[in-house]
Structure 1
Amino acid sequence: MTMKNNGTRATVAAICAAVVNRRGYSYVHDFTANSSRHVTIKVNDNKVDAYDYAASASIDGSVPGDLYHYGENTHIEMKISNNKVEGFHYGSSDFYEATVSGTSVEFYDFGTSNFYFYEVS
């Protein structure tokens, strides 16, 4: 699985919202794929603990810095600047950029050259 996988991308977008808003979330809705995903995301200081139920995988680490996706066995880099998150998914060698506005996330995946839109709750 790579960032080209809608589920992985949705979960990373939800983590972006959580780190920008400094709070946890339980669901992410993918408007592009018209589907919802159950996740658990907790943010404490710069530490992220997340679980993607559909992938049965944990993702954790520090932001800014490096997260590890245990389901994909890969690292995900994440840097924050105000409401923007930039990063790199090492499994697919793709950069991404997310802009968070409240609970909405506009996500650009450089690997697919497309925008994706999400809402977290």
Structure 2
Amino acid sequence: MKDNTRRVVAFVAGRLISGSEAWSIYDCEASRTCRFSGTVSPEQILVYDPEARCRVSGYGEKDCYSLYHHGNRHHIELKIRGSSFEGYDYGSGAHFSGSVDGSSVVVFDGQDRRYYYFTI
């Protein structure tokens, strides 16, 4: 999964699960804060990533989200399961999963089989 896709997945999942109103996420791997703007709600996702200069948009129903990354031009499926999440990144052709505990977000990227850590 591309770095910018992973960050936005961590951000959206972190917002939806934690209920946080934050508009940034700290990427522990890159040691930096990434900012976003837009809307994150149980029904609609419309996030702008100024670093990638693109939107990620989609809709949700019953904790299942169909997202589209306009910069990378591919779909992302995201399912929320309590404090955990899982999904599929069509750009990399790989599954991902993760969990949220307070402000901590962990993403397991099935493409490179590694864990990535974020703080929202």
TM-score (norm 2): 0.89
1:39 matched to 2:9? The reply is no
1:110 and 1:17 mapped to 2: Cα distance?
A: 19
The offset of 1:25, in angstroms, is 2.7
Q: What does the per-residue CA deviation read over 1:45-76, in whole Å, with 9 as the maximum and x for residues that have no partner?
A: 32111111100111111231310111111000
Q: Is the 8 A contact 1:59 1:68 kept in 2?
A: yes
Runs of 4+ more than 3 Å apart:
none
Q: Report if aligned partners of 1:25, 1:40 keep a CA contact under 8 Å in 2.
A: no
Alignment of 1:13-32 (within 5 A): 13-32=10-29
Aligned-residue sequence identity (percent) comes to: 27
Q: 1:60 aligns with which of 34, 49, 57?
A: 57
Whether contact under 8 Å (2:88, 2:96) holds in the other structure is yes
- Kept after mapping to 2: 8 A contact 1:23/1:43: no
Stretches of structure 2 that go unaligned for 5 or more consecutive residues are none
Which AA in structure 2 matches 1:70?
A: H
Please tell me the residue identity of whatever aligns with 2:99: T
Match of 2:11, SS state, is helix
Amino acid aligned to 1:35: R
Return the alpha-carbon distance in structure 2 between the equivalents of residues 36 and 43 of structure 1.
19
Aligned residue in 2 for 1:91: 91
Give the alignment's TM-score, normalised by structure 1: 0.88
User: What is the aligned residue count?
Assistant: 117
